[in-house]
């Protein structure tokens, strides 16, 4: 109860928040009447909520209810009343959680990440031009153009990232569209079918078996009504509903059915429907409140978002500090401040990998697409990677680990337990079917069953047919259909003459049939029910087709079997039959089920049959994979501990040889308290125990046991468990399908909703949707997530490398006064031109080793960009690249006449527009334009040599540890597309656009393209040596410092 109060208080504060923002909205709008009306509505809503907390509708009598809601149970509301109420309360639907407004998302893309740095660059450009212009009105527009180019770059990458995000969100919204629900309502004394969202408080609705309850309903008349409350309370057992007030708490009382739960069945007589009065609609329903609890849980940043932020900080830090240091150096070297600003811009542009964030987005969405093909639909792009870093999966049981349908698992007859095939298609039933007992048993199973297939499904495989009836009966129906063939036909041949349906008081179900043998005029009474009740009614037992008296030893055998099956969490049913003697019960005998004018004891016990919701066949394998991948799988279920433990054992969540504290106690014959808790690897914790635990105890539990099952937990406890796991610094994935799961889904680092069974609220709160509801798909997700993390590392390393080669020219230009080796615009052509496709290509790289065999990365220790990565990229490969590019640069200048010694400190004269006869190393004289042209040729040469070396960089980045030869040079075709794209873009820029002056490209002589090739080869060899040493000396200094 404490827990509940706590949750409700969360709810209250949550609604307060909404209230606040709404009020603010209202103030903004402040428009007389309308405003007042709004306010009134808000207040009303608030009251409504408060009332909900001490909801007392379940305590009221029908008359009181009629008075309270101004309705009439017989005639219902009038249309006018309904319309008024609808206008007042709004439609009966859950408001989807408020998303971030599109414009905010867009602006976030515009100023997030590196964009802000580039904006600064652009603004500095314009400021520089402003200063220039105020000094000299004829100053060139170069800086304005550069500023515009930078702004354009930011806007384009921003728009691109936004578009990518929007595209992946769109997949989701199209998926969310659902068929509108209908409700049967009594209005103006007429029965009408209206869309469920038109329901208002006070409406009288009729609910049939199989319907979804259209709102929170106080039941007025019903019989044998059962609802599936799993989405509210997590109970997977059907809950009986009646008209009587049975419990103080609205959640527990039997006369309220909750919105969006499913009404499983309503007994046929007298009306076949349950009638109820709508007592709350839309967001004011219990479900609505739980859903709003989810929106109160704050969205935490995804691990990859944190990593990217970390990376942006590193790069921005380097850019800004290098920029400022050189700004100061430049100023103290007596450069004009204006020039220093231009240098600063150059340094920023060189340092910022403009294309990288767009590349990351593309990479993530490529993976998202790949995962969607494997049934993992990713709603939030960044969540793609989160699964990869997941260290704990809190999995729901029903539907995720299990098939979510009762299935016959074991049979017991002839003193023997037989195992039935529980796989998805039941195809492989191997137990011995020759015994005559089986014939009798199968007959009872077939006949004592009210479930029926929905008509019109002839072509559907048996296991997939829809059945009218409860879970156990469905299981039995399908089982017998598989075993015996056409069940309906058998039932027709054995005409039913009377029947007593199952009810909770007598706990058995009975039916009386004529036999199919026309000579046998006896009636057959078949009965099934709780085993102990069935056994009570039996005096004989059938063994090998022969009736034997039920003696003590047989009874014991029965008990052993019953306990054994019950002990593994299965629901056990007993079956017995009795042939009525023809003399007492002639053909014309009329049976009366109310007076029971037939024997209900001295039956012949035939057998037991146990059912379970069996695990999906792919799950045990998936759990093993998770385990070897270092991921802890925790089961959190609302189900019974015994069942939960049994399923956990069968899927490997509790491995075969591990024991719980209770197991150890039992084995050693000790009281539970005396067992050392550290000895137990596994633990089964119920909701009740969890309720009494302090957070510290929970932490201890989570830390000390590697195999944990939480049973009988409430949705709120799920949230507590998730928080507990997160306190351990774990990245937590939560699977869930019910509305009740949505807070936990939201709280988790990655919430995974079930696509088929999942409720919309769960899907809304989740980051990922499993389209096939299959736990094994999570493993695929983990694999993809880890791969993308590795590949992002490679992409970033690749992208960062050239930054040094782009930065050095500026630094040397400032310090040594060389003619500028590479222009700012040219740098942009590398960052956003030649480098884009190759860096995306790395996303297609296959894993180097079995990524599913290593531990999940530590959130705080294994960073995306770690010091070795930055150092190796910047200072090893980066410097080598810069060297190679400078060699090309000097070659070009030397071959044109400027030997390296000549160009040192030549900058002032070089850039002087009035010096038109600057002498080179050979006495030739150059005009300013000639020099400019040579400078552009230098840019082009520098650009080309960076491009050539980036090809080598791309190839070495394919692996981080293995040799390229091990990885295969040609396995990733996209890398070659990338290389081709680099070369083609460079060719186009040099030879195609070389005549356009603004781009500063020239037609480069063919031989200059090859100057950097030896450096490229050197880079490759260098990296191979690095990898070789890493492989040779694992754990050494080298490994620690050179492996990124």
Partner 1 sequence: MRRQLRSRRAPALPYGYRYRLDDQDEVNQNYLADEEEEAEEEARVMVVPDLEEEEEEEKGEEEKEEEDSHSQETDSAWWRKLQIVNEYLWDPEKRTSLARTGQSWRVMIRPFAHSLNFNFNVSEPDTWQHYVISLNGFLQGYNDSLQEEMNVDCPPGQYFIQDGDEEEDKKACQFKRSFLKNCSGLEDPTFGYSTGQPCILLKMNRIVGFRPERGDPVKVSCKVQRGDENDIRSISYYPESASFDLRYYPYYGKLTHVNYTSPLVAMHFTDVVKNQAVPVQCQLKGKGIINDVINDRFVGRVIFTLNIET
| Closer residue to partner 1 (CB): 169 or 930 | 930
**Residue 876 CB, nearest approach to partner 1 (Å):** 26
The Cα 574–Cα 535 span in angstroms is 8
Q: 956: how many CB neighbours lie within 10 A of its CB?
A: 24
Member of 9, 21, 546, 927 binding partner 1 (CB under 8 A): 927
| Closer residue to partner 1 (CB): 329 or 1013 | 1013
Helices (H), 30-114: 32-53, 62-69, 79-89, 102-111
| Closer residue to partner 1 (CB): 288 or 938 | 938
Q: Which two tokens stand for residue 525?
A: 């009474």
Member of 523, 603, 926, 943 binding partner 1 (CB under 8 A): 926
Largest CA distance in the chain: 135
Contact call for residue 579 and partner 1 (CB under 8 A):
no
How remote is the C-alpha of 881 from its chain's centroid? Answer: 42
**Residue 909 CB, nearest approach to partner 1 (Å):** 11
Q: Which stretch binds partner 1 (CB under 8 A): 108-116, 501-509, 529-537, 921-929?
A: 921-929
Nearest to 445 by CA among 541, 376, 509: 509
- Per-position x/- string for 987-1016, each x denoting binding to partner 1 as judged by CB under 8 A, each - no binding: ----x---x-x----xx-x-x---x-----
| Closer residue to partner 1 (CB): 491 or 1015 | 1015
- Concatenate the DSSP letters of all residues of 943-967 into one string: HHHHHHHHHHHHHHTT-SSS-HHHH
Q: Which stretch binds partner 1 (CB under 8 A): 364-372, 660-668, 758-766, 927-935?
A: 927-935
**Per CB under 8 A, which of residues 875..894 are in contact with partner 1?**
891, 894
Contact call for residue 17 and partner 1 (CB under 8 A):
no
Member of 930, 974, 993, 1020 binding partner 1 (CB under 8 A): 930
**Residue 953 CB, nearest approach to partner 1 (Å):** 24
Contact call for residue 914 and partner 1 (CB under 8 A):
yes
- Concatenate the DSSP letters of all residues of 787-854 into one string: HHHHHHHHHHHHHHHHHHHHHHHHHHHHHH-PPPSS-HHHHHHIIIIITHHHHHHGGGPPPSS-GGGS
- State the pairing for strand pair 732-736/750-754: parallel
| Closer residue to partner 1 (CB): 732 or 941 | 941
**Residue 144 CB, nearest approach to partner 1 (Å):** 21
Q: Which stretch binds partner 1 (CB under 8 A): 30-38, 278-286, 417-425, 923-931?
A: 923-931
| Closer residue to partner 1 (CB): 30 or 924 | 924
The Cα 754–Cα 768 span in angstroms is 9
**Residue 937 CB, nearest approach to partner 1 (Å):** 5
**Per CB under 8 A, which of residues 347..386 are in contact with partner 1?**
none
**Residue 141 CB, nearest approach to partner 1 (Å):** 16
**Residue 102 CB, nearest approach to partner 1 (Å):** 46
The Cα 197–Cα 194 span in angstroms is 8
Member of 54, 63, 519, 917 binding partner 1 (CB under 8 A): 917
The Cα 989–Cα 413 span in angstroms is 83
Q: Which stretch binds partner 1 (CB under 8 A): 331-339, 405-413, 695-703, 916-924?
A: 916-924
Nearest to 714 by CA among 750, 681, 738, 748: 738
Contact call for residue 30 and partner 1 (CB under 8 A):
no
| Closer residue to partner 1 (CB): 509 or 896 | 896
**Residue 878 CB, nearest approach to partner 1 (Å):** 24
How far is residue 36 from each of residues 17, 19, 22, 569, measured CA to CA in Å? 20, 15, 13, 58
Residue 883, SS3 per DSSP: helix
Residues listed for the chain: 1044
Q: What is the DSSP letter of 212?
A: B
Number of residues that bind partner 1 (CB under 8 A): 33
Contact call for residue 899 and partner 1 (CB under 8 A):
yes
Do 854 and 940 form a contact (C-beta atoms < 8 A)?
no
Residue among 283, 396, 613, 639 flagged as catalytic: 396
Q: Which residues contact 842 (CB under 8 A, 6 or more apart)?
A: 791, 794, 795, 798, 954, 957, 958, 975
| Closer residue to partner 1 (CB): 9 or 916 | 916
| Closer residue to partner 1 (CB): 789 or 889 | 889
Confirm whether 862 is a catalytic residue. no
The Cα 575–Cα 552 span in angstroms is 19
| Closer residue to partner 1 (CB): 99 or 992 | 992
The Cα 653–Cα 632 span in angstroms is 9
Member of 185, 348, 708, 934 binding partner 1 (CB under 8 A): 934
Helix (H) or strand (E) holding 275: strand 274-280
Contact call for residue 973 and partner 1 (CB under 8 A):
no
**Per CB under 8 A, which of residues 798..857 are in contact with partner 1?**
none
Which backbone phi and psi does 823 adopt, to 5 degrees? Answer: -85, 160
**Residue 1018 CB, nearest approach to partner 1 (Å):** 16
Member of 740, 799, 937, 981 binding partner 1 (CB under 8 A): 937
Member of 5, 70, 922, 980 binding partner 1 (CB under 8 A): 922
Q: Which stretch binds partner 1 (CB under 8 A): 263-271, 419-427, 910-918, 965-973?
A: 910-918
**Per CB under 8 A, which of residues 162..221 are in contact with partner 1?**
none
The Cα 479–Cα 607 span in angstroms is 15
Contact call for residue 896 and partner 1 (CB under 8 A):
yes
Helix (H) or strand (E) holding 204: strand 204-207
Strands (E), 670-792: 682-686, 707-711, 732-736, 750-754, 768-770
The Cα 387–Cα 140 span in angstroms is 53
**Residue 980 CB, nearest approach to partner 1 (Å):** 21
Contact call for residue 139 and partner 1 (CB under 8 A):
no
**Residue 177 CB, nearest approach to partner 1 (Å):** 50
Phi/psi region, residue 760 (left: phi>0; alpha: psi -120 to 50; beta: rest), is alpha
Catalytic residues: 396
Which positions lie near partner 1, rule CB under 8 A? 891, 894-897, 899, 912, 914-917, 919, 921-930, 933-934, 937, 991, 995, 997, 1002-1003, 1005, 1007, 1011
């Amino acid at each position: 109860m404490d827990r509940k109060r706590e949750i409700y208080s969360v709810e209250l504060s949550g609604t307060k928040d909404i209230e606040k923002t709404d009020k603010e909205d209202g103030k903004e709008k402040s428009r007389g009447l309308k405003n007042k009306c709004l306010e009134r509505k808000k207040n009303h809503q608030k009251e409504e909520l408060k009332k909900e907390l001490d909801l007392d509708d379940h305590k009221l009598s029908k008359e009181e209810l009629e008075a309270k809601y101004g309705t009439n149970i017989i005639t219902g509301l009038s249309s006018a009343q309904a319309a008024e109420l609808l206008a007042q309360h709004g439609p009966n639907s859950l408001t989807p959680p408020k998303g971030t407004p599109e414009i905010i998302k867009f602006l976030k893309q515009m100023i997030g990440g590196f964009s802000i740095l580039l904006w600064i660059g652009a603004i500095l450009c314009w400021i520089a031009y402003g200063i220039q212009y105020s000094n000299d009105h004829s100053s060139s527009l170069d800086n304005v153009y550069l500023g515009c180019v930078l702004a354009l770059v930011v806007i384009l990458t921003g728009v691109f990232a936004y578009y990518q995000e929007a595209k992946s969100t769109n997949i989701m919204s199209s998926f969310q569209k659902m068929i509108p629900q209908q409700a049967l309502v009594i209005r103006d004394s007429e029965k009408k079918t209206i869309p469920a969202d038109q329901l208002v408080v006070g409406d009288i609705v009729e609910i049939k078996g199989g319907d979804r309850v259209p709102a929170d309903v106080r039941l007025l008349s019903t019989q044998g009504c059962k609802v599936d409350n799993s989405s509210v309370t997590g109970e997977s057992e059907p809950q009986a509903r009646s008209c009587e007030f049975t419990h103080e708490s609205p959640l527990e009382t039997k006369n309220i059915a909750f919105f969006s739960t499913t009404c499983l069945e309503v007994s046929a007589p007298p009306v076949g429907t349950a009638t109820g009065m709508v007592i709350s609609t839309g967001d004011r329903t219990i479900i609505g409140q739980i859903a709003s609890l989810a929106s109160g849980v704050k969205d935490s940043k995804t691990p990859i978002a944190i990593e990217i932020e970390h990376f942006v900080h590193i790069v921005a830090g380097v850019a800004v500090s290098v920029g400022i240091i050189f700004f100061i150096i430049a100023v103290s070297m007596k450069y004009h401040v204006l020039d220093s600003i231009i240098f600063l811009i150059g340094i920023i542009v060189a340092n910022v990998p403009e294309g990288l964030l767009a590349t990351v987005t593309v990479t993530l969405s490529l993976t998202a697409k790949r995962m969607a093909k494997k049934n993992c639909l990713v709603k939030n792009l960044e969540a793609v990677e989160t699964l990869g870093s997941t260290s704990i999966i809190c999995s729901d049981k029903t539907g995720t680990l299990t098939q979510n349908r009762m299935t016959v698992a074991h049979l017991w007859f002839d003193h023997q337990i037989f195992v039935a095939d529980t796989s998805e298609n039941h195809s492989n039933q191997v137990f011995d079917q020759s015994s005559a007992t089986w014939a009798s048993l199968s007959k009872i199973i077939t006949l004592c069953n009210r479930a029926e297939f929905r008509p019109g499904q002839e072509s559907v495989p048996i296991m997939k047919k829809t059945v009218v009836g409860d879970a156990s009966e469905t299981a039995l129906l399908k089982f017998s259909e598989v075993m015996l063939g056409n069940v309906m036909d058998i039932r027709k041949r054995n005409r039913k003459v009377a029947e007593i349906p199952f009810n909770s008081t007598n706990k058995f179900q009975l039916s009386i049939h004529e036999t199919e043998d026309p000579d046998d005029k006896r009636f057959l009474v078949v009965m099934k029910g709780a085993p102990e009740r069935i056994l009570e009614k039996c005096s004989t037992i059938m063994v090998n087709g022969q009736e034997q008296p039920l003696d003590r030893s047989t009874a014991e055998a029965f008990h052993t079997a019953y306990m054994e099956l019950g002990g593994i969490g299965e629901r056990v049913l007993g079956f017995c039959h009795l042939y009525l003697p023809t003399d007492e019960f002639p053909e014309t005998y009329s049976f009366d089920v109310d007076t029971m004018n037939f024997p209900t004891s001295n039956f012949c016990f035939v057998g037991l049959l146990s059912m379970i919701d069996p695990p999906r066949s792919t799950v045990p394998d998936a759990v093993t994979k998770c385990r070897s991948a270092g991921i802890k799988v925790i089961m959190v279920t609302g189900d019974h501990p015994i069942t939960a433990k049994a399923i956990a054992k069968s899927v490997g969540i509790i491995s075969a040889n591990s024991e719980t504290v209770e197991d150890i106690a039992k084995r050693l014959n000790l009281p539970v308290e005396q067992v050392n808790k550290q000895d137990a690897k596994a633990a089964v914790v119920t909701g009740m125990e969890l309720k009494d635990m302090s957070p510290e105890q929970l932490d201890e539990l989570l830390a000390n046991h590697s195999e944990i099952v939480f049973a009988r937990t409430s949705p709120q406890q799920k949230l507590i468990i998730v928080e507990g796991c997160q306190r351990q610094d774990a990245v937590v994935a939560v699977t869930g399908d019910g509305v009740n799961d949505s807070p936990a889904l939201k709280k988790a680092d990655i919430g995974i909703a079930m696509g088929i069974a999942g409720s919309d609220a769960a899907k809304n709160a989740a980051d990922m949707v499993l389209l096939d509801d299959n736990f094994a798909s999570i493993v695929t997700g983990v694999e993809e997530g880890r791969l993308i993390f590795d590949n992002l590392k490679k992409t970033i390393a690749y992208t960062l490398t050239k930054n040094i080669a782009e930065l050095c020219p500026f630094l040397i230009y400032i310090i040594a006064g060389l003619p500028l080796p590479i222009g700012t615009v040219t740098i942009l052509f590398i960052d956003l031109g030649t480098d884009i496709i190759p860096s995306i290509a790395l996303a297609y790289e296959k894993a180097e080793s079995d990524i599913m065999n290593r531990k999940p990365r530590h959130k705080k220790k294994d960073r995306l960009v770690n010091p070795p990565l930055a150092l190796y990229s910047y200072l090893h490969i980066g410097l080598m690249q810069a060297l190679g590019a400078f060699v090309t640069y000097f070659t070009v200048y030397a071959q044109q006449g400027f030997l390296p010694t000549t160009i040192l400190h030549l900058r002032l004269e070089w850039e002087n527009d009035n010096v038109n006869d600057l002498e080179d190393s050979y006495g030739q004289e150059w005009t300013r334009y000639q020099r400019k042209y040579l400078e552009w040729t230098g840019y082009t040469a520098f650009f080309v040599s960076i491009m050539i070396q980036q090809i080598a960089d791309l190839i070495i980045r394919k692996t981080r540890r293995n040799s390229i030869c091990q990885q295969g040079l040609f396995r990733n075709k996209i890398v070659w597309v990338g290389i081709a794209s680099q070369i083609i873009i460079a060719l186009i820029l040099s030879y195609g656009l070389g005549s356009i002056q603004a781009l500063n490209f020239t037609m480069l002589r063919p031989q200059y393209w090859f100057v950097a090739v030896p450096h490229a080869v050197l880079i490759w060899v260098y990296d191979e040596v690095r990898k070789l040493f890493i492989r040779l000396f694992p754990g050494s200094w080298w490994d620690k410092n050179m492996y990124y």
